[in-house]
C-alpha cells in the first residue's frame, strides 16, 4: 500500500510532524501557518463540520469518530482514512478550531497513535487501515510499542521474538521489554523475526498484536519514579492472523523505521507547536519567582537565561521544521529535536531541583503505582516527578548516543561505525 500512497503524491521522505502531545494539551496557536488553497479548504471543512457536530453535545469518542469520518483526524492522511491529503502543519489549525469550539484534548494515554497511525497508513493494506485507524483515533482502542527486547535495544534489528507461519496465522514466541502503557493497550506494534537465516535487517516482519489474546502476558516494571509506566510482555504461542500483518513479510525493518522516525518526532516536539507553554522551563520560572531575593543570584539568573534561550531555540526550530513540512514521514533530522529535548529536560529539571534546595528532596510519593496516562517530560506530575522522569528521555525512543550516530551518519554524511554483523545470517551472529 506504500505504492498506493506514493501515487497519491502525499509521501516524501523526511517530512511528517505528528503534533506534540503537550501542544495538543495546551493552547495551540496557528499564526505561523502559511495561507494558501489548502488552508482555505481545511477552514471551510472545519466550519462545515462544527456546524453539524457540536463537541459540547456529545462524548469525546463519538466526536472523534465523526471527526475521522470528515477527514479531520490526521489531515495529511489520504481521503477515506481520516485525512484530506493536505500538508501536516494544518493539523494544528484543525486542533485549534475544534478546541475553541469546546472539543476535549487528546487523551495522553493514546500517545501511541502518533506512531501507529502513520505506520499503518504508510505500510498497511486498505483492510488493515480500515480495521485499525478509526478506533485508534477515537481512543476506543489503545496501542503500545513492542520493539525492545532484553538483548535488542539500540541494536533493535537484532531482535529474536519468533513469528512462525501456520496457515492463515502466525505463532509468536518471545519477550519484549520497556513497553510503555502496555498494561492499558488493546493492540501492540509488534516486530518479529520471521526468517532467522536472513541478515538481521532482512528477516523481520511487523504485526498488530491483540494484547488480550491467549498467550500474551503483561508484567509491570517499576521505574525510578516509583511507578510502573512500562512493562515486560511475554508471548507464548500467541496467535496473530495474517490479516493483522503490517507491510510485507520480511519488510519489518522498513516498516519499523516509520514508527521510529515518528516516535522521535512525537517525543522531540516535532509538531512544531508555537504555543508559548514550553513544559519544564515554565515550572523552573515559576520556582524562580517564588525564591527569596537573596537566592536569586546573578550566577543563577545567568543559568536560567541560558536554559530559557535553549528552550526558545528548540521551540522555534520545531515551528520552522513544521512549517516547512509538506507531506510524508519524518526523516533522520528529527533526531535533532529528540536529542536536544532529552538533554535539555535533564538539565532544566536538575536546575529546578537545585533551586528548591533541601526542599527538592522531600514531598515526593514513591508508592508503587500503575499510571493510566503518559507524561513524557513528567511535568504533569510536578517538578520532582519531572526531574526523575526526564532521566529516561535520553534512553526512550533511542538513546542520545544513537541520536548522535544517526545525525553523524545520515544527516552530516560522516563515515558509519563498523557493523560486522550486517551481512551475516541472524542465526549465525554470536549472542551472549
Ligand X SMILES: Cc1cc2nc3c(=O)[nH]c(=O)nc-3n(C[C@H](O)[C@H](O)[C@H](O)COP(=O)(O)OP(=O)(O)OC[C@H]3O[C@@H](n4cnc5c(N)ncnc54)[C@H](O)[C@@H]3O)c2cc1C
CB of 155 to ligand X, least distance (A): 6
Q: Give residue number: closest CB to ligand X.
A: 153
Q: Which residues contact 417 (CB under 8 A, 6 or more apart)?
A: 405, 409
Q: Which residues contact 386 (CB under 8 A, 6 or more apart)?
A: 280, 283, 345, 349, 352, 377, 378, 379
CB of 392 to ligand X, least distance (A): 4
CB of 73 to ligand X, least distance (A): 23
Catalytic site residue from 149, 232, 251, 263: 263
Instruction: Specify whether 263 is catalytic.
Output: yes
Q: Which residues contact 295 (CB under 8 A, 6 or more apart)?
A: 355
The kind and range of the H/E element at 188 are strand 187-193
Q: Give the whole-angstrom CA distance, residue 271 versus residue 273.
A: 6
Residue among 4 and 401 whose Cβ is closer to ligand X: 401
3-class state of residue 208 by DSSP: strand
Length of the chain: 432
Residue among 95 and 263 whose Cβ is closer to ligand X: 263
Residue among 146 and 281 whose Cβ is closer to ligand X: 146
Note whether 309 and 381 are within 8 A (CB).
no
Quickly tell me which residue has 462544527 as its cell.
50
Residue among 46 and 190 whose Cβ is closer to ligand X: 190
CB of 288 to ligand X, least distance (A): 28
Interacting residues with ligand X (CB under 6 A): 144-148, 153-154, 178-180, 230, 392, 395-396, 398-399, 401-402, 405, 417
**For residue 284, which of 261, 258, 264, 310 has the smallest C-alpha distance?**
310
- H helices of 54-104, in order, are 60-69, 90-100
Q: Give the whole-angstrom CA distance, residue 54 versus residue 411.
A: 45
**For residue 210, which of 186, 233, 237, 232 has the smallest C-alpha distance?**
186
CB of 229 to ligand X, least distance (A): 7
CB of 232 to ligand X, least distance (A): 10
Residue among 125 and 405 whose Cβ is closer to ligand X: 405
CB of 219 to ligand X, least distance (A): 14
Q: Give the whole-angstrom CA distance, residue 387 versus residue 377.
A: 9
> Residue 430, class by beta-carbon neighbours within 10 Å (0-12 exposed, 13-18 middle, 19+ buried)?
exposed
CB of 315 to ligand X, least distance (A): 23
Residue among 153 and 199 whose Cβ is closer to ligand X: 153
Note whether 204 and 250 are within 8 A (CB).
yes
> Residue 12, class by beta-carbon neighbours within 10 Å (0-12 exposed, 13-18 middle, 19+ buried)?
middle
Residue among 148 and 194 whose Cβ is closer to ligand X: 148
- CA–CA–CA angle 247, 253, 258 (5° rounding): 75
CB of 176 to ligand X, least distance (A): 6
Maximum Cα–Cα distance across the chain = 74
Residue among 231 and 311 whose Cβ is closer to ligand X: 231
Q: Give the whole-angstrom CA distance, residue 277 versus residue 140.
A: 29
Q: Give the whole-angstrom CA distance, residue 193 versus residue 163.
A: 6
Note whether 213 and 376 are within 8 A (CB).
no
Residue among 25 and 179 whose Cβ is closer to ligand X: 179
3-class state of residue 267 by DSSP: helix
Residues with active-site annotation: 263
Amino acid at each position: 500500500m506504500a505504492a498506493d500512497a506514493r501515487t497519491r503524491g502525499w509521501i516524501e521522505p523526511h517530512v511528517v510532524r505528528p503534533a506534540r502531545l503537550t501542544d495538543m494539551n495546551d493552547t495551540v496557536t496557528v499564526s505561523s501557518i502559511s495561507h494558501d488553497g489548502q488552508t482555505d479548504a481545511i477552514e471551510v471543512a472545519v466550519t462545515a463540520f462544527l456546524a453539524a457536530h457540536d463537541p459540547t453535545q456529545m462524548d469525546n469518542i463519538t466526536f472523534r469518530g465523526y471527526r475521522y469520518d470528515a477527514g479531520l483526524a490526521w489531515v495529511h492522511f489520504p481521503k477515506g482514512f481520516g485525512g484530506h491529503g493536505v500538508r501536516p502543519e494544518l493539523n494544528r489549525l484543525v486542533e485549534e478550531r475544534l478546541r475553541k469550539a469546546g472539543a476535549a484534548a487528546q487523551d495522553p494515554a493514546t500517545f501511541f497513535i502518533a506512531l501507529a497511525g502513520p505506520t499503518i497508513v504508510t505500510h498497511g493494506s486498505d483492510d488493515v487501515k480500515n480495521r485499525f485507524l478509526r478506533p485508534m483515533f477515537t481512543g476506543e482502542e489503545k496501542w503500545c510499542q513492542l520493539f525492545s527486547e532484553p538483548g535488542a535495544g539500540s541494536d533493535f534489528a537484532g531482535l529474536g521474538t519468533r513469528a512462525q507461519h501456520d496457515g492463515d496465522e502466525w505463532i509468536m514466541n518471545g519477550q519484549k521489554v520497556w513497553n510503555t502503557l502496555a498494561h492499558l493497550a488493546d493492540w501492540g506494534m509488534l516486530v518479529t523475526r520471521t526468517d532467522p537465516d536472513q541478515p538481521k535487517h532482512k528477516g523481520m516482519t511487523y504485526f498488530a498484536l491483540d494484547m488480550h489474546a491467549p498467550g500474551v502476558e503483561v508484567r509491570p516494571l517499576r521505574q525510578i519514579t516509583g511507578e510502573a509506566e512500562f512493562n515486560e510482555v511475554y508471548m507464548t504461542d500467541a496467535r496473530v492472523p495474517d490479516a493483522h500483518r503490517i507491510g510485507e513479510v520480511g519488510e519489518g525493518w522498513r516498516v519499523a523505521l516509520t514508527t521510529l522516525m515518528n516516535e522521535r518526532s512525537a517525543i522531540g516536539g516535532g509538531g512544531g507547536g508555537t504555543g508559548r507553554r514550553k513544559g519544564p522551563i515554565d515550572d523552573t520560572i515559576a520556582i524562580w519567582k517564588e525564591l527569596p531575593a537573596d537566592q536569586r543570584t546573578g550566577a543563577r539568573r545567568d543559568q536560567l537565561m541560558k536554559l530559557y534561550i535553549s528552550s526558545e531555540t528548540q521551540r522555534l526550530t520545531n515551528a520552522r521544521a513544521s512549517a516547512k513540512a509538506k507531506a510524508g514521514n519524518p526523516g533522520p533530522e528529527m533526531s535533532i529535536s529528540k536529542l536536544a529535548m532529552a538533554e535539555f529536560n535533564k538539565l532544566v529539571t536538575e536546575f529546578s531541583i537545585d533551586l528548591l534546595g533541601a526542599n527538592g528532596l522531600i514531598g515526593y510519593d514513591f508508592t508503587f503505582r500503575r499510571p493510566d496516562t503518559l507524561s513524557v517530560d513528567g511535568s504533569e506530575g510536578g517538578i520532582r516527578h519531572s526531574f526523575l522522569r526526564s532521566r529516561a528521555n535520553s534512553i526512550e525512543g533511542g538513546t542520545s548516543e544513537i541520536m548522535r550516530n544517526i545525525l553523524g551518519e545520515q544527516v552530516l554524511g560522516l563515515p558509519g561505525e563498523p557493523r560486522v554483523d550486517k551481512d551475516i545470517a541472524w542465526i549465525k551472529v554470536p549472542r551472549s
